[in-house]
Structure 1
Amino acid sequence: MMEMPPLQFAQTNGIRMGFYEAGPKSDQPPMVLCHGWPELAFSWRHQIKALSEAGIRVIAPDQRGYGVTDRPEPVEAYDIEQLTADLVGLLDHLQIEKAIFVGHDWGGFVVWQMPLRHPGRVAGVVGINTPHTNRAWADPIELLRKRFGEHMYIVQFQDPAHEPDKIFGTRVEQTFDAFMRKPARRPDAPAEEVVAGVGASPRLNLAFPQMIANYDAAHDPRTPILSPEEKQVFVDAFTKTGFTGGINWYRNMSRNWQRSEGLDHTVRVPSLMIMAENDAVLPPSSADGMDKLIPDLEKYLVKDSGHWTQQEKPEEVSAKLIEWRRRRFG
């Protein structure tokens, strides 16, 4: 796989997880890079190279349900307790006491939960695009349904018949052609509120399955962020695995909310929030108020970037990670 170190495997939390590792093993604490949906460890290829060349040990897994990592059948096998336990098991496999966890998109939700659920294993946290929020006042799926309607993609993802999975799974190349592009323009309606960490404007078209079903790349003026060879890595992986594993993460949002009652949401480790100026789903405004939950928080804005920040602006994201890591951890 282009620009990636050799693939390795770990037995962790009842599954076999594929991961990539680079940089000196003596470097402590290492940085664990956690991808979002629909992505892979490959999404971090630029950061793996840059961080390891800077002398930082870096580890990037295909997370549960993705790529070469196992895809258990039960939906509840993808709740936040399992996703965080997978990362603890990966540290155990590598005999690492503590790590800095870096997460983009859904990976961001996971890494912000790590210091709440496994504080002894976390040295620091970096969220890319995805903010840390307090527990929602009601079931997040019901809040999203009320705010955006039945066609909002996360609401659609709750469909027990897996119709969204089938739409993406039968149009894999269309899916990556449509998603992996720079935004056409800066969103004109930043979120005025955040619902369970999803801060999109209600005027956005969030009916992603229907968007993909009707998509034609020939009429899309936006600039792709992937080369044809890079896009093929994603297409090949998701052609083999389908999308259900990753979508099952969304199918646990209500369960995660129910089971987090009484959990202290204060993050007590050094933290960095990297925001993307033109992310329409997770805009910079969605990170407002994070300092109330994270006493040691820095924020950094990547200008002229949409949602796929570490792939759209790889040099800037890598440089910020290296600078913050060196300044805060030596």
Structure 2
Amino acid sequence: MSDPTDFPNPTLVSVNGVALEVFEAGRENAGKPIVLCHGWPEHAYSWRHQLPALVDAGYHVIAPNQRGYGNSSRPTEVEAYDIDHLTGDLVALLDHYGYQDATFVGHDWGAMVVWGLALLHPGRVKRVINLSLPYQERGEMPWLELMEQFLGSDYYFVHFNRQPGVADAVLNANTHQFLRNLYRKDVPPSAPEPGNVMMNLATAENPRGAPLMSESELAVFVSAFESSGFTSSINWYRNLDRNWHILGDVDPIIHQPTLMIYGDRDVIPKSERLTDFVPNAEALSLDCGHWIQQEKPEETNQAILDWLKQQDVG
């Protein structure tokens, strides 16, 4: 199902003071909800390969463009993108569909939101499936400070915060080139370049590796970001330390059954202490980079469906 025309038409759903653009399939499977949470700089369309497989397996699939993305609301205040607001949207989405809880699947920043949801609203999360980004230990030092100390001021998380608007403008001016250069697979390893890696990608003439998707698939992402710009989605990064403070007040242990899927060639390191914080977690790795569910769709679907079946039997 890689043809953009096969993806469900969206509905705008009012939740938590914003409107979310929601792509839904399998309503005939009401009672078995699974919510798919995309990462950055992505779109609900990044789950196009998973939707039909999950519907066939009997799930009611709900894939929102989260706030700041696509045709969902884009509040102007940076604070409107903190973990309270992002998880609040998902809770309100469950309320909208009349569900007490659901299985939540997150990739990249979507995984960060799903981890946060399980911490802040544990009663609303039945199971967790996260891709790429493992549970992030809170530690003694706010995350941004820690990153700046170890990775420097040009590291893109830090740069987005310390130089607001600079990267946004470069990405906005080079949307197609940035996304074309970012969405690659089989990228050969190389020495880190100076500067903000995202701005470097946006201005690089020649992409490295092989394209992750067809031109028509890429066009869905390009069109969405040409319309929305990048600032609202980058604002998620600008709440990293605020999130660190918010999560200081909650029990850091996630008790739900959890599946963690890594890409062996992802730049995000695997967690060596996952089960210290997520005692009911199982982890597996696929031979791919960061864009796991788009790079290895069949393997991702198989891993998710096998695990869900095992949970249902157990």
Instruction: Place the TM-score, normalised by the shorter chain, in its bin.
Output: over 0.9
Question: Where in structure 2 are the equivalents of 1:177-192 lying within 5 Å?
Answer: 177-185=180-188
User: What corresponds to 1:242 in structure 2?
Assistant: 229
What amino acid sits opposite 2:25 in the alignment?
A: A
% identity of equivalent residues: 40
Does the CA contact (< 8 Å) of 2:174 and 2:203 recur in 1? no
User: What corresponds to 1:322 in structure 2?
Assistant: 305
Q: Residue 241 of structure 2 is aligned with which of 230, 251, 254?
A: 254
- 1:175 is the counterpart of 2:178: yes
User: What corresponds to 1:197 in structure 2?
Assistant: none
Does the CA contact (< 8 Å) of 1:109 and 1:130 recur in 2? yes
User: What corresponds to 1:276 in structure 2?
Assistant: 263
Q: Aligned partners of 2:141, 2:265: CA distance in 1, in Å?
A: 28
- 1:292 is the counterpart of 2:276: yes
What amino acid sits opposite 2:292 in the alignment?
A: T
Q: Aligned partners of 1:130, 1:82: CA distance in 2, in Å?
A: 20
- 1:80 is the counterpart of 2:83: yes
Aligned residues: 309
Q: Aligned partners of 2:100, 2:249: CA distance in 1, in Å?
A: 27
- Deviation string, structure 1 residues 108-148 (Cα, Å, up to 9, x no partner): 00001112111111100011011012212201111111111
- How far the C-alpha of 1:263 sits from its partner, in A, is 1.6
Secondary structure in structure 2 of the residue aligned to 1:288 = coil
What amino acid sits opposite 2:101 in the alignment?
A: K
Q: Aligned partners of 1:86, 1:179: CA distance in 2, in Å?
A: 28
Q: Aligned partners of 2:47, 2:264: CA distance in 1, in Å?
A: 20
Does the CA contact (< 8 Å) of 1:277 and 1:306 recur in 2? yes
Q: Aligned partners of 2:112, 2:163: CA distance in 1, in Å?
A: 23
Normalised by the size of structure 1, how large is the TM-score?
A: 0.90
What amino acid sits opposite 1:125 in the alignment?
A: V
Cα RMSD of the aligned pairs, angstroms, is 1.6
Write 1 or 2 for the structure with the bigger share of helix: 2
User: What corresponds to 2:204 in structure 1?
Assistant: 215
Secondary structure in structure 2 of the residue aligned to 1:157 = helix
Q: What are structure 2's unaligned runs of at least 5 residues?
A: none
Q: Residue 102 of structure 2 is aligned with which of 90, 99, 104?
A: 99
Q: Aligned partners of 2:263, 2:167: CA distance in 1, in Å?
A: 27
Q: Aligned partners of 1:20, 1:270: CA distance in 2, in Å?
A: 26
Secondary structure in structure 1 of the residue aligned to 2:6 = coil
Does the CA contact (< 8 Å) of 2:29 and 2:59 recur in 1? no
User: Using a 3 Å threshold, how does the CA distance of structure 1 residues 296 and 213 change in structure 2: closer, same or farther?
Assistant: closer
Moved more, 10-19 or 155-164: 155-164
User: What corresponds to 1:154 in structure 2?
Assistant: 157
Question: Where in structure 2 are the equivalents of 1:6-25 lying within 5 Å?
Answer: 6-25=9-28
- 1:312 is the counterpart of 2:295: yes
Does the CA contact (< 8 Å) of 1:29 and 1:98 recur in 2? no
Normalised by the size of structure 2, how large is the TM-score?
A: 0.94
What amino acid sits opposite 2:283 in the alignment?
A: K
Moved more, 21-30 or 76-85: 21-30
